[in-house]
């Protein structure tokens, strides 16, 4: 009997060892590329090509260059403006739309949801030429507004979908009192739902922000110069810039700079983001 217990304990120990080893491997796989980018960005041009795991000498030259001389500041600003405005606009539009979709049964409602769902799957390259023409006609080529407009294709449908789910999960009793009082829909939305929906708004807003921040195809096609480019585009076209070295160190520095705010957001709002991501697609 004692022996059996020991064996059980032993097995259990092995099990947890394997488990933690797996955790370690997964963590290493997830983090190593980013770690390598950080290490590379901290190297000077002479040691850039060395493959030591820990840099022996650290320099911030690359970061200085990225900040001061490369025009990366513009892109940072552009991305911030585009992503912020896109997510705010998206939230506003989708809050308005999600309320009747979640709470009222009217003809055409399902069709709207279906359309939103199929737009999330639209290949972006399929709207590229039509969008290009539209942007030309509206005379907003190479403007942030063009990017905001294009990014809405991505953000609106999934935000609408997630928002509808969130509102749907709120118990009906909450607004019943307000309905009894004869409040109209707008009042119900702003006075009753808005306060409860705080967490949902943060989640969807963040997701929309990240999507707009990362968007590449439209930003690449609808902008021309450094002054209008967003971060992903400048990063993609960052080449042959500096004189005495292959610009890998700079690219890595810029990559780290772009990623850090996102990583921080995600670490802080981890739970929220996970719930939003999964609420949007399945769980059905």
Partner 1 sequence: MRIRKVETSKAKEKKTDFSNWLFLAPCLLVLILCAGWPLLRSIFFSFTNASLDNLNQTDFIGLENFVSLARDRDWWKAVLNTFLITCISVPLETIFGMVVALILHTNFKGRGIMRAVVLVPWTIPTIVSARIWGWMLNDSYGIINELLMKASIIDAPVAWMASNFLSIMSMIVVEVWKTTPYMALLLLAGLQSMPQDCFEAAEVDGVPFRKTFVSIILPMMKPTIIVAVIFRALDAVRIFDLVYILSSGNNANATMSVFARRHLVEYQDIGFGSAAATALLFFIAFLTVLYISFNKKKLNSLD
Partner 2 sequence: MKKYLILIAVAVAFSAGVLSCVQARTIKITSRSKGVELELLRKAVDEWMAIHKGKHKVEIITLPHESNNCFAQYQGWFGAESCDVDVLQMDVAWVGVFSDYLASLDEYCTNLDMNDYFDIIKENMYSNDGHLIALPLYTDCGLLYYRKDLLEKYNRSVPKTLEELYDTALYIQTEERKDESKKNKFYGFIFQAKAFEILTCNFLEIIDACGGAIVKNGVAEINSDKGIYAIEFLIKCMKNITNRGVLTYSEEDARGIFQLGNAVFIRNWPYAYTLMNGPSTAVAGKIGIMPIPPSASGGKESGALGGWFMTVSKFSKNKALAADLVIYVTSKAQQKLRVASSYLPAFKSLYSDKEVLEINPFIANMRESLLNAVARPSKSFGKNYSKATSEIFNTINTILTDSLDESPEDFKPQRLMKRLNDKLNTLIKKQNEKKTDAANDNGKVGFFKRIMNCIS
108 binds partner 2 (CB under 8 A): no
202 binds partner 1 (CB under 8 A): no
Rounded Cα distance between 114 and 105, Å, is 15
Q: Which of 39, 45, 96, 127 binds partner 2 (CB under 8 A)?
A: 45
139 binds partner 2 (CB under 8 A): yes
Q: Which stretch binds partner 2 (CB under 8 A): 130-138, 182-190, 250-258, 261-269?
A: 130-138
Q: Of these partners, partner 1, partner 2, none, which one is at the site of residue 48 (CB under 5 to 8 Å by kind)? A: partner 1
Site string for partner 2, 57-96 (x = CB under 8 A): --------------x-------------------------
Tell me how many residues contact partner 1 (CB under 8 A). 96
Q: Which of 9, 12, 64, 110 binds partner 1 (CB under 8 A)?
A: 110
Rounded Cα distance between 192 and 175, Å, is 7
Contact indicator for 158, 280 with CB cutoff of 8 Å: yes
13 binds partner 1 (CB under 8 A): no
**Residue 65, C-beta contacts closer than 8 angstroms, at least 6 positions apart:** 242, 250, 253
Q: Which of 24, 114, 122, 224 binds partner 2 (CB under 8 A)?
A: 224
Contact indicator for 190, 122 with CB cutoff of 8 Å: no
Tell me how many residues contact partner 2 (CB under 8 A). 23
Residues 141-160 touching partner 2, rule: CB under 8 A, are 141-142
Question: Nearest distance from residue 267's CB to partner 1, in Å?
Answer: 5
Residues 244-273 touching partner 2, rule: CB under 8 A, are 244-246
20 binds partner 2 (CB under 8 A): no
Q: Which stretch binds partner 1 (CB under 8 A): 47-55, 63-71, 80-88, 193-201?
A: 47-55
Residues 152-211 touching partner 2, rule: CB under 8 A, are none
Q: Of these partners, partner 1, partner 2, none, which one is at the site of residue 4 (CB under 5 to 8 Å by kind)? A: none
**Residue 241, C-beta contacts closer than 8 angstroms, at least 6 positions apart:** 70, 247, 250
Q: Which of 8, 20, 32, 49 binds partner 2 (CB under 8 A)?
A: 49
231 binds partner 1 (CB under 8 A): yes
22 binds partner 1 (CB under 8 A): yes
Positions touching partner 2 (CB under 8 A) are 45-46, 49, 71, 133, 136-137, 139, 141-142, 224-227, 237, 239-246
């Amino acid at each position: 009997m004692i022996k059996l217990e020991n064996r059980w304990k032993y097995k259990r120990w092995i099990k947890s060892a394997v488990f933690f080893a797996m955790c370690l491997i997964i963590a290493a796989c997830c983090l190593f590329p980013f770690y390598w980018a950080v290490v590379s960005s901290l190297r000077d041009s002479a040691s850039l090509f060395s493959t030591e795991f820990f840099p022996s000498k650290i320099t911030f030259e690359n970061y200085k260059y990225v900040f001061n001389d490369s025009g990366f500041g513009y892109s940072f600003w552009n991305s911030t403006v585009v992503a912020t405005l896109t997510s705010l606009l998206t939230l506003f539009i989708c809050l308005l739309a999600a309320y009747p979709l979640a709470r009222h049964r009217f003809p055409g409602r399902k069709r709207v949801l279906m359309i939103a769902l199929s737009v999330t799957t639209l290949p972006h390259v399929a709207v590229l030429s039509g969008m290009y023409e539209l942007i030309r006609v509206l005379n907003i080529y190479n403007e942030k507004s063009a990017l905001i407009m294009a990014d809405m294709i991505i953000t609106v449908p999934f935000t609408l979908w997630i928002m509808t789910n969130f509102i749907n999960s709120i118990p009906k009793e909450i607004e019943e009192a307000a309905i009894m009082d004869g409040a109209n829909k707008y009042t119900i939305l702003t006075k009753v739902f808005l306060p409860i929906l705080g967490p949902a708004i943060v989640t969807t807003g963040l997701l929309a922000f990240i999507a707009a921040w990362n968007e590449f195809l439209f930003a690449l096609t609808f902008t021309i110069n450094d002054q209008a480019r967003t971060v992903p585009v400048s990063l993609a076209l960052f080449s042959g810039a500096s004189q005495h070295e292959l610009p890998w160190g700079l690219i890595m520095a810029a990559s780290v700079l772009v990623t850090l705010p996102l990583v921080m957001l995600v670490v802080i709002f981890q739970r929220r983001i996970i719930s939003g991501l999964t609420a949007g697609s399945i769980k059905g």
